[in-house]
Amino acid sequence: MREIRYRAIADDVRRRVVEGEYAAGSLLPSEAELGAEFDASRVTVRRALEVLRDEGLVDARQGFGWFVASAPLRQSLGRLATIESQLVDGGIRPERRILEFAFERASREVKAVLGAEQVLRVKRLNLADGQPFAVVTVWCRADLGQNLSRSDVERSPFYELLDIPLKGATQTIGADAADVSDAELLGIPVGSPVLRCKRITTDVAGDAVLLSEHVFPAHRTEFVVDLPHAEPSIAPTGLRLVE
């Protein structure tokens, strides 16, 4: 009787995944919630989900629970580019939703990086095929962003909007736990693993012109780095350990 029950639950969840009710990369209801919906024990629900995991339809990660399996969103760090352009190359539709757009006094941290008293701060939610995959905050010197509008930054990356030549960027990636705000925007549990990236973009003179912070859900994000062979260094060229 239990075998029939867990297979019936698996059939129902499979149908929802195939029909798109549960989108690729999105979290499923918790085992407790599914148990309440199907009037089944968590053991039975877990067995049903394990059947779907064996089929490659769902997966689970500690800190997230169960989610619809999908190819990870990959970003190459070998060149200065937006992850959105790389998504397009992979046949994925990117979208930006501007959450905040404000000219304001720079915080101590932002001032230390950009050397400016006044900055333009833009916070946005990035989506891939309609599903949130990053919360991004960008700070730009106010003199460089004074002619930009909300619609400008929603439509195009700062790299294309700034009327100055850029040299490159330094990006620091670390593990973190999702706070309440990021968890709500990304549709993940509070405290679940995220990748927090800070990027400083410079002009050809080496001066910082942009500071940005990107928060990615760890269960569907990968960064790819090409490592050239170099001797006798003990660390890959272009990378350094940060304590």
Q: What is the pTM of this model?
A: 0.77
Please count the CA atoms within 13 angstroms of the CA of 39 that sit on its side-chain side.
Answer: 0
- Residue 42 domain-assigned (yes or no): yes
Q: Which two tokens stand for residue 179?
A: 């706070």
pLDDT in tens, 3-41: 588 899 999 999 998 888 888 778 888 899 999 999 999
Same domain, residue pair 54 and 157: no
Q: Is residue 216 part of a domain?
A: yes
Could you tell me if 27 and 84 lie in one domain? no
Residue 117 shares a structural domain with residue 58: no
Whether residue 63 is found in the same domain as residue 77 = no
User: Any idea which residue has 């170099």 for tokens?
Assistant: 230
DSSP classification of residue 57: S
Q: Are 17 and 83 within one domain?
A: no
pLDDT of residue 2: 47
Predicted confidence (pLDDT) at residue 211 exceeds the cutoff of 90? yes
Same domain? For 134 and 85 the reply is yes
**Of 25, 47, 68, which one is at a domain's C-terminal end?**
68
pLDDT for the residue 1: 45
Confirm whether 234 is domain-assigned: no
Query: Domain residues for 16?
Result: 2-68
Considering the domain architecture, whether residues 44 and 150 belong to the same structural domain is answered as no
The whole-angstrom separation of Cα 52 and Cα 88 is 29
Domain end point (choices 33, 51, 68): 68
CB burial string 142-166: b at 16+ within 10 A, e below? bebbeebeeebbeeeebeebbeeee
Residue 233 has pLDDT above 70, yes or no: no
Same domain, yes or no: 165 and 88: yes
- 210 and 175, same structural domain? yes
d(CA 106, CA 174): 24
Per-residue pLDDT, 224:
78
In this predicted model, what pLDDT tens digit does every residue of 135-182 receive, in sequence order? 999 999 999 999 999 999 998 888 889 888 988 888 899 999 999 999
Over the chain, what is the mean pLDDT?
86
Strand partners, 174: 196
Q: Strand ranges (DSSP E) for 129-243?
A: 131-141, 166-177, 193-203, 208-217, 221-224
Q: Cα dist. 189→22, 28, 120, 234 in Å?
A: 17, 11, 30, 38
The count of domains in the chain is 2
Q: What is the CATH number of the domain that holds 186?
A: 3.40.1410.10
Please indicate, yes or no, if residue 242 is contained in any of the structural domains: no
Q: Indicate if 214 and 111 belong to the same structural domain.
A: yes
195 to each of 78, 82, 176, how far by Cα in Å? 18, 16, 6
